[in-house]
Amino acid sequence: MKVILKLILVFFVFNFFACSSDDDSNNDSEASLEGIWILSSLRVESTFDFNNDGTASQNLFEETPCYDNDFINFRTDGTVNVVTALTEITVDVTSPTEYNHVYECLDGFDQETTWTREGNTITVEYGSTDLVGTISGNMLTVHIENFFQIEMYDGMSYSYPNEDVTLVYTKQ
């Protein structure tokens, strides 16, 4: 059975706000949003060792090459361009006690929409939904609860728990 993570980034595109910071500056409301923000982390709740380095990680950005070219470009005219890849993760079961997760990088999308800012609060408009977040220093972080449904196998049956996703972008 396959679990497709295609929608994870569709929603993330418009939910990439809920920022945290490694900067204690009080000047976040004056920090420039305009420019290129490169994806630097995409964390899920489960751990994987897709890169076969012997260490399982929650960070799919580290475990796969799928997101190496993902970015967001905030423009001064109030438009935003989001470029993101997609990943398909499946369970490869060879016996009731032997299985592993495998991934495949898929073509993503290049999405245009608009954004507005009031202080350090940013709103991205998408259809009838306004998505709101904050900017802090040179980091953008979004946390999407119960967003990612992943296929799990316990040796007898499959389950599909919902997991939270956290994305972090760094301004270039």
pLDDT, tens digit (0-9, with 9 covering 90-100), for 76-107: 999 998 888 888 888 999 887 888 888 999 98
Q: Which of 55-69, 117-131, 153-167: highest mean pLDDT?
A: 55-69
Euclidean distance between CA atoms 117 and 121, whole angstroms? 6
User: In this model, does residue 53 exceed pLDDT 90?
Assistant: yes
The model carries a pTM of: 0.76
User: In this model, does residue 67 exceed pLDDT 80?
Assistant: yes
Per-residue model confidence as pLDDT tens digits over 102-140: 899 998 888 899 988 888 777 767 666 666 567 888 888
Residue of 15, 26, 7, 42 whose CA lies nearest to 122: 15
Task: Please report the pLDDT score of residue 154 as a whole number.
Answer: 83
DSSP conformation class of 46: E
Task: Please report the pLDDT score of residue 1 as a whole number.
Answer: 39
Q: Which of 2-6, 96-100, 103-107, 150-154 has the lowest mean pLDDT?
A: 2-6
Residue of 110, 115, 107 whose CA lies nearest to 81: 110
Euclidean distance between CA atoms 138 and 97, whole angstroms? 45
User: In this model, does residue 35 exceed pLDDT 90?
Assistant: yes
Task: Please report the pLDDT score of residue 48 as a whole number.
Answer: 92
